[in-house]
Structure 1
Amino acid sequence: MTDASTSVAGPGARGRWAAGDWDRIAVAAIVLGGCLRAVWILVIHPPARFVYSDMLGYVQRAAELAAGEPLSPIDAFFPPGTHLLLALPVAVFGVAVGIWVATALWFLLSVATVYVSWRAARLLLTPAAAAITAVLCAVWPLFITYGGYFTSETPALAALMTAVWLGVEAIRRDGRAAVVLALCAGIAGGLAAATRPQLLINALILLGVALLSRRASAGAAAGLAAGLFVVLALVVAHNSIASGHLVGLARNGGVNFWFGHCDARSVTTVDAADRRTFAIQHPVPAQAGRTGDILVRGHDIWDEDYFVQVGRACIESDGVEHIPRLGRNVLDMTATTTLWPQSESRDWTRSVVQIANLVYSVLLPVIAIGSLVLVRRHRRGSRIMGGEVFLLANLACVVVVAVLVLGDPRVRTVYDAFGFALLGAILADLLRLDRKPEVADDVSTG
């Protein structure tokens, strides 16, 4: 007869699995995610074979940079992170081979996203919640399919979740290790912002936690700030050289603001010689059949001041009636349209992405409400659940971006890992998969 107090095989005592069991599930999910991505990115849909539209622009700018050609204003219009990353293999191997090396790089970044998302959740939540996070990120069609295009989503998400993982780990550490980890986290956060400028808000949230945490050392906060500053300074220098005067992380913020606050689905700029200089279309109003094909004379597409001024004029003209437009921007972050460029696919990809995005959009209110209930209940029990609060603050940036700039489900995808982590926390708690130990800091550990 076996002693019940010592017989723990597989699931832990009282039916709960041990942390190691959940970690093994997470590792299996990462391997599965790697296999799915290998089939999609390296075989079925390698991004090197789908170079058009935005992807073509990134590759062309990377090739020009690798060839040493002088920068021009268009190099600062889009955030430079993606084409700077592509320029590395192109500079070493040439364009023909370099874009295939970049294809392998996009595969590695997509797989890394699953790993770093799990590691971040493992620090912030329970082992069960972290394992669920890994499973969801591993099989999420949006993360997988975006790896098949040279767009900013894959590198931005990998950099962002790396920053979260290393930043939280730095807050837990002391001494030199904390400084080194924080510096790496700051660099990763800067790379995320260089690829998608709105992710600077998430990097600042992490920095704010380091500054306010009772557990973090001064070195951790200083390392985060230093790493972030160095990368952002380099990006600003690149864009300023390209523009001929001091500018920020990208010059498309003005036209994006205009798209978000005015009735517009496309804009074409024309110079004084009546030559078309640039044309851009916002996929959400285009798919929704909204009107607003605008011709702008005498202003370049990167004229941020002009487009911001026009956007503000739209807000002032609408008055209180602009509030429903902001609500529409928030809805446009969900499933009102299909994500681009998958929306142009003629095979099963479009349908899979549509269904996945619809399911996630329906779950978003449940995730938000469930997370708030979880935080409130745990606080009543005198436990600080800083992990959930931190993740919820990062997920809330979706609404901030929609209200301040524009709504687009493509923009939202870089925040989906936070939603999956919170969903994992809700499921782990609801199903009592494991218990989180009491902690005494504002960024908790599992």
Structure 2
Amino acid sequence: MSTPDPSSSVPAVAVPRPGVVPSRRWLLWLTALALLTRLVWVLVVHPPGNYVFSDMNMYVKRATDLAVHGPRSGVRDLAWQAFGTHYLLAGVFKIFGPGAPYRAAAVVWGLLGAAAVPLTYLLACRVLPTARLAAIAGVLALVWYPNLSTTGFFLSETPFLCAQLLSAYWLVRVVQEGKMAWAAGVASALCFMLRPQSALFFVLVFGLWLVNVRGLPWVRLRQLVGVGLPLIAALAFSVWRYHSHTGRWDGIAENANMNLTAGRCHNIVTQAFKKKADLDRSARANNTNDGRRVSLPSYRTLQVTFPPGHPLALNPAMEGETIRFVGYIGDPWIHRDLRRECYRRTGLIGQLQYSVVNLLLQWFISRQWPDNAKNRQYFLPPSEVFRYGFQIFVLVPSLLGVGLGLARLRRTPATAVLALCLFNSMLLAAVFFGDVRLRTPYDPYAIILALLAVHWLLTRWRARRAQRA
């Protein structure tokens, strides 16, 4: 048997180590406290079964329909929202049975919310330079009330928070070590099924790899297939499912049509009617509560916060807070015509102003919904404390962290993954609309990037002091 020539062998690639090694003690304590706080929240303090109204009611309604009847072709209402959340709820209802008090589903939401805490710590260990900073990130994730609060509602935020943290953590491991590609792909597919708009993040991560293709020799075809195939399968299933309910191949969830129209026209309420006589009757009575109706609390906040003429005031392109039309509320051809008219009326400058206002809603203006609805006297005050705390302590450092991550995308591509995730949330808010509730699943990345920026600033300040000494 011949011996291979050592000179002809490919040299081993040195894979960089992660930032710090996680402390098992910290991980255990964070996990235990997260489980305790989240389960007490969903079973005692804020059971989500007691808050089934508005969006929560629609998720529960569709989940119950699926649990009882199974998937049914031609039921257009099931294509209104992205299916991940109500499929997850339907699975729980199918096993344990639907109906109040939804305790089994509440436990699932509590477990998903709890998992976000140790995942934030593990992700921080991968990108932050010191164990102390990673521990701070874990503690902040544990006490971060906005994400604790959404655990008490049957909304997409809690499962998306968990799925996206899993996706980001395993994508970082792929970037750092070339490992866990299939796990990253499955988590990313779940993320996409919960919120299809996350697709842009995965496109940006692929672009990150293209930029770093020579600097990441451990990320090759096998890793790309592992991440990409589950995402492609999720996309294919999502499009097929949409077609089975609507008969069309032009989307994944029909509420995207309405959301984009609202973001580009700045109307508070959208109303759809089956007959023109019903529309005319609603218009004469100025009734914004009839027909098939959807409203956006963020834009109502604009209306009541800023007077007419203020740069941030609600300025609807159609000159009224309500857009009414005859048809189904998700008809894409109707919404395309509406947006075309809004573009004509506002022009490019007006649309850019809308985007700025949308982004500021996410950061400064809107309050966390549904905390400001039922039992707001108990649950809104702590939400407001954290809203202002985010603005004062997290926002600016996190934006600096995004800048650092993107500026160092060749040197530290793992940090760039987090920066792209947060950048994606800002871009989506600008195009559609911003809201504290929609922002909160991205808060762990903001916290980690803010800590990274603070460390960078302190390091530079100490270096300058040392030079002067």
TM range (shorter): 0.7 to 0.9
Q: CA deviation at 1:366?
A: 2.7
Residue in 2 aligned with 1:441?
Answer: none
What is the TM-score normalised by the length of structure 1?
0.84
Instruction: Tell whether 2:348 aligns with 1:317.
Output: no
Q: Which residue is 1:223 aligned to?
A: 226
In 2, the alpha carbon distance for the partners of 1:302 and 1:95 equals: 28
Q: What SS does the corresponding residue of 1:149 show, helix, strand or coil?
A: coil
Please name the residue that 1:252 is paired with: 255
Correspondence 1:303-342 to 2 at 5 A: 303-319=331-347, 320-342=349-371
Aligned to 1:242: 245
CA distance in 2, matches of 1:341, 1:282: 12
More moved, 288-297 vs 199-208: 288-297
Change (3 A) 1:58 1:225: same
Structure 2 residue aligned with 1:417 = 444
Q: Which amino acid aligns with 1:317?
A: R
Alpha-carbon distance change, 233 to 130 in structure 1, aligned in 2, over 3 angstroms: farther
1:365-416 CA distances to partner (integer Å, 9 max, x unpaired)?
232125535876x89xxx9233333222221112211222222222222211
In structure 1, distance between residues paired with 2:350 and 2:63? 43
Q: Give the 3-state SS of the residue equivalent to 2:69 in structure 1.
A: coil
Distance 1:222 1:260 in 2: 35
Change (3 A) 1:21 1:220: closer
**2:39 alignment counterpart:** 38
User: Match for residue 281 of structure 1?
Assistant: 295
| Partner Cα distance (2:351, 2:46) in 1 | 41
Which residue is equivalent to 2:286?
Answer: none
After TM superposition, list the pairs within 5 Å mapping 1:130-279 onto structure 2: 130-173=134-177, 178=179, 181-210=180-209, 212=213, 213-272=216-275, 274=277, 277-279=291-293
Deviations 1:215-272 (A, max 9, x none): 3132111111001111222222222111122132211111111111213101111012
Equivalents in 2 of 1:354, 1:96: separation in Å?
32
For normalisation by structure 2, the TM-score amounts to: 0.80
Say if 1:23 and 1:202 are closer, same or farther in 2 by CA, change over 3 A.
farther
- Of residues 101-110 and 113-122 in structure 1, the stretch that sits farther from structure 2 once superposed is 113-122
Deviation at 1:139? 0.8
Structure 1 residues 78 and 370, CA gap change in structure 2 (3 angstroms): closer
Match of 2:379 in 1: 349
SS at match of 1:393: helix
Counterparts in 2 of 1:97 and 1:314: CA distance versus 1, 3 Å: closer
Matches within 5 A, 1:51-130: 51-68=52-69, 70-71=72-73, 72-96=75-99, 99-126=102-129, 127-130=131-134
Distance between the aligned counterparts of 2:118 and 2:32, measured in 1?
10
1:394 to 2:421 alignment:
yes
C-alpha contact 1:190 1:200 (8 A) present in aligned 2 = no
1:300 paired with 2:328, answer yes
Q: In structure 1, how many angstroms separate the alpha carbons of the residues matched to 2:326 and 2:389?
A: 44
Q: Which amino acid aligns with 1:56?
A: N
Q: Displacement of 1:19 after TM fit? A: 5.1
* C-alpha separation in 2, matches of 1:370 and 1:267: 37
Aligned length: 406
Q: 1:389 to 1:204 in 2, by over 3 A?
A: same
Cα distance in 2 for residues equivalent to 1:410 and 1:21: 30
Specify the code of the residue in structure 1 equivalent to 2:296.
Answer: H
For residues 21 and 401 of structure 1, the distance between their equivalents in structure 2, rounded to whole angstroms, comes to 33
- Do the aligned residues in 2 keep the contact of 1:124 with 1:388 (CA within 8 Å)? yes
Structure 2: how far apart are the matches of 1:395 and 1:173?
23
**Structure 2 runs not aligned, ≥5 long:** 1-18, 279-289, 304-313, 460-469
Quick check: 1:155–1:195 contact (8 Å CA) kept in 2?
A: yes
Unaligned runs of 5+ in 1: 1-17, 433-446
8 Å Cα contact 1:367-1:423 kept in structure 2 = yes
Q: CA RMSD in A?
A: 2.6
Aligned to 1:369: 400
